[in-house]
Amino acid sequence: MAALKLRLGLVGGATGALIGPVHRLAARMDDRFELLAGVFSRDPARSVAEAAAIGIPRGYPDVATMLAAEAARPDGIQAVAIMPPNDSRAAIADATLDAWLDVICDKPLTNDLASAA
């Protein structure tokens, strides 16, 4: 019997980003993840367009919209890989955890110790 794949959402890592394409490739190579949803830019239109361009079925304009929409789906995402610029990772991780989803996060989580605390 084939193993079930973890339904994964992505934040950050648009085309041209350094680490995003690596995360997407690794998730596909591992064959334990199904890349289903994502937010790829702070610009809502670019985010949705980028998802379509890189073959992610459900592109969203922002993280809050993605988390709410995915929570309402019976096949919604189960985890989020977070890889935008350092200054936004902690807030996105907090929102993702508040939505009861698992987090995979690039390092560093924040820019300084005060922000981490």
Q: pLDDT tens track of the chain, all 117 residues?
A: 567 899 999 999 888 888 888 888 888 898 899 999 999 999 999 999 999 999 999 999 999 999 999 999 999 999 999 998 888 899 999 999 999 999 998 778 888 888 777
Q: Which pTM was predicted?
A: 0.90
The Cα–Cα gap between 23 and 107 comes to 13
